[in-house]
Amino acid sequence: MVGVPRSSGCQLCRTRRVKCDEARPACGNCVKYGAECPGYERSLKFVAGKHQIRQRGKRSDNGRASTSTSASTSSDDSQPLVTTPTYRSCSIVVTSAPRRSPTLTPPVDRALQPMRGHVLYTMIEKFCPSAPPDIVSLFEWLQFEHLGKRALLDGAICSLALHLAGKEASNPQLVAQSRTVYGKSLYELQAALRHPSAWRSSETLFAAILLCFFELFAGTSSPDNWLQHAQGIGVLMEQRGPAAHAEGWDAAMLLSFRGILIMSDMFHPREENCFLSRQEWKPMMRDGGRCLVHAPDTPIESVMVIDGFFQRLVDIPAVLKWGYLVREANNAGIPVDPSQLVILAHLAAANHASFSRWYDEEFTSLPYVQPTEAAPANPETSLYPTILEHANQWAGAMHLAVWASMLILQETMVQCRAPVPGADAVKQDLVSKILRSIESVGRGTMGPYRIGYSLRIVYEFANAEAQLWIGGLLETFTKSYAAVDKTTYPAPREDQEGYS
Interval 443-489: pLDDT, tens: 988 899 999 999 999 999 999 999 999 999 999 999 889 999 999 99
String of DSSP letters for 442-492: T-STTHHHHHHHHHHHHHHHB-HHHHHHHHHHHHHHTTT-GGG-GGGSPPP
Q: Give the pLDDT mean for 51-79.
A: 38
Q: Give the pLDDT mean for 303-328.
A: 93
Query: How confident is the model at residue 118, as a pLDDT?
Result: 58
Please say if the pLDDT value at position 69 is more than 50.
Answer: no
Query: How confident is the model at residue 137, as a pLDDT?
Result: 63
Q: How far apart are CA 418 and CA 405, in angstroms?
A: 17
Predicted confidence band of residue 275 (pLDDT cuts 50, 70, 90) = very high
Identify the bridge partners of residue 2 per DSSP, sorted by sequence position: 46
185-194 pLDDT tens trace: 999 999 999 9
Phi/psi of residue 317, nearest 5 degrees = -55, -40
Please say if the pLDDT value at position 291 is more than 90.
Answer: no
Q: Give the pLDDT mean for 99-122.
A: 45
Predicted confidence band of residue 39 (pLDDT cuts 50, 70, 90) = confident
Q: Give the pLDDT mean for 142-155.
A: 74
Contacts of 141 (CB under 8 A, 6+ apart): 249, 252, 256, 292, 293
Q: What distances in angstroms separate CA 295 from CA 130, 133, 142, 271, 303, one per listed residue?
A: 19, 11, 12, 37, 10
Query: How confident is the model at residue 416, as a pLDDT?
Result: 95
Predicted confidence band of residue 65 (pLDDT cuts 50, 70, 90) = very low
Query: How confident is the model at residue 136, as a pLDDT?
Result: 61
Query: How confident is the model at residue 167, as a pLDDT?
Result: 83
Query: How confident is the model at residue 27, as a pLDDT?
Result: 84
Please say if the pLDDT value at position 230 is more than 70.
Answer: yes
The better pLDDT of the pair 367, 380 is held by 380
Are 70 and 96 in contact by the 8 Å Cβ rule? The answer is yes
Phi/psi of residue 389, nearest 5 degrees = -95, 125
Q: Give the pLDDT mean for 344-366.
A: 94
Please say if the pLDDT value at position 314 is more than 80.
Answer: yes
Query: How confident is the model at residue 165, as a pLDDT?
Result: 79
Find the range with the poorest average confidence among 153-157, 316-320, 376-380: 153-157
Query: How confident is the model at residue 114, as a pLDDT?
Result: 45
Report if pTM > 0.95. Answer: no
Domains of the chain and any CATH numbers: 2-46 (4.10.240.10), 315-500 (no CATH)
- How many other C-beta atoms can be found within 10 angstroms of the C-beta atom of residue 186? 21
Predicted confidence band of residue 23 (pLDDT cuts 50, 70, 90) = confident
